[in-house]
Chains A and B, each alone.
Chain A
Amino acid sequence: MPKKKDVKKIVFQSAEEMPTMPMSLGSMLYNKTGSWRNIRPEIKLEDCIQCGICWKFCPDMSIEIENEWPVVNYDYCKGCGICAAECPTKCIIMVEERK
């Protein structure tokens, strides 16, 4: 994913060229909500049974499935912990962020 500073904000110059609906205005390319996070989910893949529950429950669509394994998108994960709470094998652990 591109870093915040690398993304050019979409700014329409007139109402005319904007979509009628509030749709795909590109704001989430720019607004990386991952910076709000205090605790981060870490997945111990050796205990993962590939059930997809974390992917399904993530309210921010921040768990992606890559080659059948869950991968956290830390650009957008806000650290809510729902994935860790729902994981049936408890292989997702919430770890404090250190800066």
Chain B
Amino acid sequence: MKKVIMGNHALSYGAMLSRSQVIAAYPITPQTQVVELLSEMCADGTLNAKFIKVESEHSAMAACIGASIAGARTFTATSSQGLALMHEMLHWASGGRLPVVMGNINRSMAPGWSIWTDQNDSLSERDTGWMQYYCASNQEVLDTVIQAFKVSEKLAIPSMVVLDAFALSHTYEVVDIPVQAKVDAYLPPFKPPFRLTPDDPHAFGGLTGPEHYFELRYKLQKDMEKAPALIEETGREYEKMFGRYLGLVDAYRCEDAEITLVTSGTAGYTAHVAVDEMRKSGLKVGNLRMKVFRPFPFDKIRDILKKAKKVAVVDRNISYGYHGIFAQEVKAALLGHARVPVFSFIAGLGGRDITPASFREVVDYTVARPEPDEEIAWIGVKK
């Protein structure tokens, strides 16, 4: 069934179709309509889940961890400062190997207070051991939630499904909402390998000395390394059943591109439009939209970008004192694999629009220089 829904509700429908059993959330700012709709679904019986209303995002994630270790399929959603407040508990979810799935609306971090988009909130959680998917349409948001549960539960690693504030979260698009029976066939019920139950008492998360801690983290990384192949496999399976492929990257006209843009989120779709326009004027430009950021898709990135003469990474985020975060990671991934100049662009912080003209500016800048002559090139800032 096709429906016109906002990105927030695409997350809600994804969580509903995945048959989430426990949803814990803090209902006030910076929360969005994601959990509002889910609470209504729980109240009217559309979704058979326990909705736990808590007093902070830290408690929301703590409740999700408790529910997950008891064996429930668990979902929550948050944004910006709320995600930051969860920080400690994010480590508990990943270190505890609990496949919680969370929607995060990419809102800029305060101060100044902002409800507009950039990626510094989720990228600040880069090293917490969560998988991160960056979506570019409401359809992709819904589909990715379902896929994320499947991947997370296979690997016992939590997932964050990330979408741009306003540009997706509050923007309405046509979304194909799959039939429940088909989603059930794709995503079977959650069967945890271990769970806490009074019938078989265990201690969870107790003191772990140097003789064991290292191996627990080694196993987390080893399982994370299995994720890229699994994401592609489950993405192809999704395509077979629902007609939409969910992969690691979305490479658009990259095959013969001389300048390849690297983008993420909704700016990645805007870049598709910009690429078409620039191609018409004879510029050989391509766009590599990164869908999955953790695990980092090394092979895909290397295969696609080594064909380019120049790479222009457009980041809607910044690591202060360094570069855009995608740019620094792309550079590191290419080192020793391809000698291609990588330009670092920062654009659209705090929800300033990134338009096709922004990408034209990026490409003009890149064309004009054989290699970067400054660490960061700023697009659209009033200098």
CB distance from A12 to the nearest CB of B (A): 6
Do A22 and B202 touch (CB < 8 A)? no
Known: A18-B219, A20-B97. A27 touches B156 (CB 8 A): no
By secondary structure, the A interface counts as loop
Per-residue contact bits, chain A 10-29, to B (CB 8 Å; 1 contact, 0 not): 01101100111111110110
Q: Are B97 and A27 in contact (CB under 8 A)?
A: no
Q: Are B95 and A22 in contact (CB under 8 A)?
A: yes
Contact segment of B5-13, B22-30, B206-214, B291-299: B206-214
Cα distance, A11 to B156, chains bound together (Å): 23
Q: Write the A40-84 contact mask toward B (1 if CB under 8 angstroms, else 0).
A: 000000000000000000000000000000000000000000000
Query: Do residues A23 and B215 form an inter-chain contact, with CB atoms below 8 A?
Result: no
B107 to chain A: closest CB distance in Å? 32
**Inter-chain contact A22/B206, CB cutoff 8 Å:** yes
Q: A64 to chain B: closest CB distance in Å? A: 14
Contacts of A31 in B (CB 8 A): 207
Is the Cβ of B207 less than 8 Å from the Cβ of A21? no
Contact of A25 among B95, B97, B193, B208 (CB under 8 A): B208
Tell me the smallest distance from the CB of B216 to a CB of chain A, in Å: 6
Contact B212 A21 (CB under 8 A): no
Interface size class of B (residues with CB under 8 A): 20 to 34
CB <8 Å contact, B218 and A28:
no
- Encoded as 1 (CB less than 8 Å from any A CB) or 0, chain B from 172 to 209 comes to 00000000000000000000011000000011111111
Q: Is A20 in contact with B156, judged by CB distance below 8 angstroms?
A: yes
Q: A residues touching B (Cβ–Cβ < 8 Å)?
A: 9, 11-12, 14-15, 18-25, 27-28, 31
What are 28 A-to-B residue pairs whose CB atoms are below 8 Å? A9-B211, A12-B211, A12-B212, A12-B215, A15-B218, A15-B219, A15-B222, A18-B216, A18-B219, A19-B194, A20-B156, A20-B193, A20-B194, A20-B223, A21-B96, A21-B97, A22-B95, A22-B96, A22-B205, A22-B216, A23-B194, A23-B202, A23-B204, A24-B203, A24-B204, A25-B203, A25-B212, A27-B209
